[in-house]
Amino acid sequence: MDETVNQTYRIDTVLMPRKNLNWISILASINMEKCMMKFKKRWIFTIPALALAFFAGACTPKPFLKVQYQLPSPSSTLEGEKVTLAVSDMRGKKAILTENARKSLKNFNETFSLVVLHEDGSGNLIGVYDLVSLLTEVFRQRLKNEGIHVAAVADNVLPELKIEVTEFQLDSAKGKWVVSMNYRASLLDEGSLLSKESVSGEAERLSVTGKSDAEKILGELLSDMANKLNLVRLFQQARQ
């Protein structure tokens, strides 16, 4: 048994001389260099492709309009009041954009991203909404800012603040963006009208940077229209 083991080691020594080991090392080194060259070539083509894909995505027009809602100064006059909130679309013209505005905003899919700005200048991105959901969130933020609690679900015990939107349209004419909005606000108790108020407005802005100017004028008018609603008077009239 010992002789067999010794013979095996002698055979290994004959087959794998030191010179051959050096050649094997050299060949392995050459193969490694070839692999590295292939790896570098792949990255030479991959990096520009990734960069192109990134910038192409960054330059793709977004299908929504960015809207910034500026809250008024906080108030505690109506602190402790509780309501449910309902926004309904009563517009005669359902299209948000006129034909002229559509030419400039071809990718717009009638959705909006909402950023709520506070008095101290801070802002929060809330989400992306269709028109009714956008207005619901804007008025919810306004009520919360006044100290009014808005119930998450309908509650027959609580009064209901009903917002009926009768106009909301963005137009483009003579180098300007023109936006108009009208709505009725009603405070009801078990379906009975307690008080109501109508708010309407229009604003325009020169179209210098295109879509960006449209977004600014939308945010400005929406902020003005939501903040114009006199909630204190609405609740005072409801108590009379």
pLDDT in tens, 38-83: 545 454 444 454 444 444 444 567 899 999 999 999 999 999 999 9
Q: What is the pLDDT of residue 156?
A: 83
Residue 143 is encoded by which pair of tokens?
Answer: 């009520």
Per-residue model confidence (pLDDT) at position 40: 52
Mean pLDDT score of the chain: 83
Q: pLDDT band at 22, cuts 50/70/90?
A: low
What pLDDT, in 10s, does the model give residues 131-149?
Answer: 999 999 999 999 999 999 9
Whole-model pTM?
Answer: 0.75
Domain extent listing, the chain: 2-59, 65-239
- Domain boundaries 65-239, CATH class: alpha beta
Q: What is the mean pLDDT of residues 85-98?
A: 97
pLDDT, tens digit (0-9, with 9 covering 90-100), for 177-193: 999 999 999 999 998 99
Report whether pLDDT(113) > 70.
yes
Over residues 2-6, the mean pLDDT reads 39
Query: Nearest 5 degrees, angle CA 109-CA 181-CA 171?
Result: 55
